[in-house]
Amino acid sequence: DGGITQSPKYLFRKEGQNVTLSCEQNLNHDAMYWYRQDPGQGLRLIYYSQIVNDFQKGDIAEGYSVSREKKESFPLTVTSAQKNPTAFYLCASSTLQGVGETQYFGPGTRLLVL
Protein backbone atom coordinates (compact mmCIF):
# COMPACT_ATOMS: atom_id res chain seq x y z
CA ASP A 1 0.00 0.00 0.00
CA GLY A 2 1.29 3.45 -0.91
CA GLY A 3 0.65 6.39 1.32
CA ILE A 4 1.66 8.54 4.24
CA THR A 5 1.79 7.38 7.80
CA GLN A 6 1.92 9.53 10.88
CA SER A 7 2.55 8.45 14.43
CA PRO A 8 1.44 8.55 17.08
CA LYS A 9 -2.26 9.24 16.60
CA TYR A 10 -2.39 11.04 19.96
CA LEU A 11 0.54 12.65 21.77
CA PHE A 12 0.68 14.24 25.18
CA ARG A 13 3.25 16.87 26.05
CA LYS A 14 4.27 18.07 29.48
CA GLU A 15 5.37 21.62 30.16
CA GLY A 16 8.90 22.30 28.95
CA GLN A 17 9.11 19.07 26.99
CA ASN A 18 10.08 18.62 23.35
CA VAL A 19 8.09 16.05 21.41
CA THR A 20 8.62 14.62 17.93
CA LEU A 21 5.91 13.69 15.46
CA SER A 22 6.74 11.10 12.84
CA CYS A 23 5.84 11.29 9.14
CA GLU A 24 6.81 8.65 6.57
CA GLN A 25 5.81 8.34 2.92
CA ASN A 26 6.37 5.61 0.35
CA LEU A 27 4.99 7.54 -2.62
CA ASN A 28 8.46 8.58 -3.81
CA HIS A 29 7.41 12.22 -3.55
CA ASP A 30 10.05 14.92 -3.50
CA ALA A 31 8.14 17.49 -1.45
CA MET A 32 6.86 17.08 2.10
CA TYR A 33 4.95 19.50 4.32
CA TRP A 34 3.79 19.99 7.87
CA TYR A 35 0.52 21.79 8.66
CA ARG A 36 -1.18 22.74 11.87
CA GLN A 37 -4.99 22.80 12.12
CA ASP A 38 -6.89 24.48 14.94
CA PRO A 39 -10.68 24.25 15.38
CA GLY A 40 -12.49 26.49 12.90
CA GLN A 41 -9.25 27.41 11.17
CA GLY A 42 -7.68 26.42 7.91
CA LEU A 43 -4.44 24.52 7.56
CA ARG A 44 -1.41 26.64 8.39
CA LEU A 45 1.96 25.74 6.93
CA ILE A 46 4.73 25.12 9.47
CA TYR A 47 7.64 23.83 7.36
CA TYR A 48 8.17 22.31 3.95
CA SER A 49 10.95 20.49 2.14
CA GLN A 50 11.60 20.02 -1.56
CA ILE A 51 14.68 17.86 -1.30
CA VAL A 52 16.67 15.85 1.19
CA ASN A 53 18.71 17.93 3.64
CA ASP A 54 16.87 21.13 2.75
CA PHE A 55 13.73 22.70 4.20
CA GLN A 56 12.07 26.11 4.46
CA LYS A 57 9.97 27.85 7.08
CA GLY A 58 6.30 28.25 6.46
CA ASP A 59 3.95 30.80 7.97
CA ILE A 60 4.16 29.63 11.60
CA ALA A 61 7.59 28.00 12.07
CA GLU A 62 8.40 29.54 15.44
CA GLY A 63 8.65 26.88 18.16
CA TYR A 64 9.02 24.02 15.66
CA SER A 65 11.94 22.28 14.00
CA VAL A 66 12.24 19.65 11.26
CA SER A 67 14.80 17.46 9.53
CA ARG A 68 14.89 15.73 6.13
CA GLU A 69 17.65 13.17 6.26
CA LYS A 70 15.80 10.70 4.02
CA LYS A 71 13.41 11.28 1.15
CA GLU A 72 10.77 9.17 2.88
CA SER A 73 10.87 10.84 6.29
CA PHE A 74 10.09 14.35 7.57
CA PRO A 75 9.78 14.41 11.38
CA LEU A 76 8.51 17.49 13.19
CA THR A 77 9.69 18.46 16.67
CA VAL A 78 7.47 20.67 18.77
CA THR A 79 9.84 22.44 21.13
CA SER A 80 9.19 23.94 24.54
CA ALA A 81 9.32 27.35 22.84
CA GLN A 82 5.93 26.62 21.25
CA LYS A 83 3.62 28.01 23.93
CA ASN A 84 0.34 26.85 22.44
CA PRO A 85 1.04 23.46 20.87
CA THR A 86 -2.40 21.89 21.29
CA ALA A 87 -3.61 21.25 17.73
CA PHE A 88 -4.10 18.66 15.00
CA TYR A 89 -0.90 18.19 13.00
CA LEU A 90 -1.01 17.02 9.41
CA CYS A 91 1.85 15.85 7.23
CA ALA A 92 1.53 15.88 3.44
CA SER A 93 3.59 15.09 0.38
CA SER A 94 3.46 15.88 -3.32
CA THR A 95 5.48 15.58 -6.49
CA LEU A 96 7.13 18.66 -7.98
CA GLN A 97 6.39 17.82 -11.58
CA GLY A 98 4.01 20.64 -12.33
CA VAL A 99 1.78 23.37 -11.02
CA GLY A 100 -1.14 22.32 -8.87
CA GLU A 101 0.16 18.93 -7.82
CA THR A 102 -2.12 17.05 -5.46
CA GLN A 103 -1.20 17.01 -1.81
CA TYR A 104 -1.50 13.62 -0.16
CA PHE A 105 -2.16 13.85 3.56
CA GLY A 106 -1.46 11.51 6.42
CA PRO A 107 -4.06 10.65 9.07
CA GLY A 108 -2.80 13.34 11.46
CA THR A 109 -1.47 13.50 15.02
CA ARG A 110 -3.44 15.21 17.76
CA LEU A 111 -1.13 16.88 20.28
CA LEU A 112 -2.45 17.67 23.73
CA VAL A 113 -0.73 19.45 26.61
CA LEU A 114 -0.89 17.92 30.09
Smallest distance, another protein to C-beta of residue 45, A: 7
DSSP string, 34-84: EEEE-TT--EEEEEEEEETTEEEE-TT-TTEEE--SBTTB--EEE-TT-S-
Using CB under 8 A, pick the residue from 14, 42, 53, 54 that binds another protein.
42
- Residue closer to another protein (CB basis): 61 or 79: 61
User: β-strand 10-13 against 109-113: which pairing, if any?
Assistant: parallel
Cβ closest to another protein, residue 30 vs residue 80: 30
Report the Cα 89 to chain-centroid distance in Å: 6
- Spell out, one character per residue from 80 to 109, where the chain touches another protein: x when CB under 8 A holds, - when not: --------x-x-x-x-x--xxxxxxxxxx-
Q: Which is nearer to another protein, 4 or 21 (CB)?
A: 4
Candidates 40, 53, 83, 114: give the one binding another protein (CB under 8 A): 40
Give CA 52 to chain center in angstroms: 15
